[in-house]
Amino acid sequence: QYSFQENGWGAYLAERLVRKCDVVNRGISGYNTRWAKLILPRLITESTSADSIAAVTIFFGANDSALKELNPKQHVPLEEYAANLKSMVQYLKSVDITADKIILITPPPLQESAWEKACLAKGDKLNRSNATTGQYAQACVQVARECGTDVLDLWTLMQKNQDFSSYLSDGLHLSMKGNSFLAAQLWSRLENKLSALPSLLPYWRDVDHTNPEASLL
C-alpha cells in the first residue's frame, strides 16, 4: 500500500514505465496471504486480458511471520503461508498469466531493536523475529522454485549489507533507501521485459497539429 508514497518503489516503477504501461497498486496494509488469497480473484478477474499484463508481483510474509502468541490476527503458519503463495500463483496461471510474468518477493529482514521500540510505543511486546521472518523468506523462495516463477529474495539481499537498518524506517517497513533498493532490484528483473514496450501515442512534436486525428486516431 505504501509503495505509491513519495519515493516508494511502486512510484519508481510507474515513473520508469510512464506512457508504456500502467503500474497498478493493489497492496493492502496489514494483510497476510490468508486474506490476499481470498481477494485475488476480485483484483485480477477471469475476464482480465492476460495479454495486457506485463508482470505481476506478489509481496507477502512480513505479516504472516508475526509470532502467533503475540499477534494471532496477522500470523499465518509457515506451511499455510507457502500453500497460500502457491495457490495465488496457480490462480494467476489459471487466468493465463504465465509463470515468466510472475515475481514473488520475500519479506525484508526485521531489525528487531527498532521494531521493538515501535511496539513498546503502542503498549505491545516485540511481536516478530528476524529468524522467523527468514523462514518465511526461504519458503517464498522455495515456492518460486516449485512454480517456475522469478523471486526477489529481499531478506537475503538486504542482509548482505551487515547494517541493514537503514533499509527500514521502523525496523519493519521500508525506508526511502529500502524502497530505492527494492525498486532497483525489481527493475533489474523487469527492464529487459518492459523497457522495449512501445510508447503509447506519439511524442507531441510528432503530432500533426493541422490534422491531429491523423496522428492520434
- Tell me the mean pLDDT in the region 46-65: 94
For residue 196, the model assigns a pLDDT of 79
Please, what sign has the CA dihedral across residues 6, 8, 13, 14? negative
Beta-strand runs (E) in the chain: 56-59, 102-105, 150-152
Q: What are phi and psi of 175, to 5 degrees?
A: -85, 180
Q: d(Cα 32, Cα 38) in Å, to the nearest integer?
A: 10
Exposure letters 174-196 (e unless 16+ CB within 10 A, then b): beeebbbbbbebbbeebeeebee
Q: d(Cα 3, Cα 1) in Å, to the nearest integer?
A: 6
DSSP state of 109: P
For residue 90, the model assigns a pLDDT of 98
Helix (H) or strand (E) holding 11: helix 9-16
- Tell me the mean pLDDT in the region 146-165: 94
- Tell me the mean pLDDT in the region 60-70: 97
Q: Band of the pLDDT at 192, cuts 50, 70, 90?
A: confident
Q: What CATH class has 2-215? A: alpha beta
Q: Band of the pLDDT at 183, cuts 50, 70, 90?
A: very high
Q: What order do you get walking across the sheet with 102-105 strand by strand? A: 56-59, 102-105, 150-152
Q: What are phi and psi of 152, to 5 degrees?
A: -115, 105
For residue 98, the model assigns a pLDDT of 96
pLDDT exceeds 80 at position 195: no
> What pTM was computed for the model?
0.94
The three three-digit cell numbers of residue 82, written as one number: 507457502
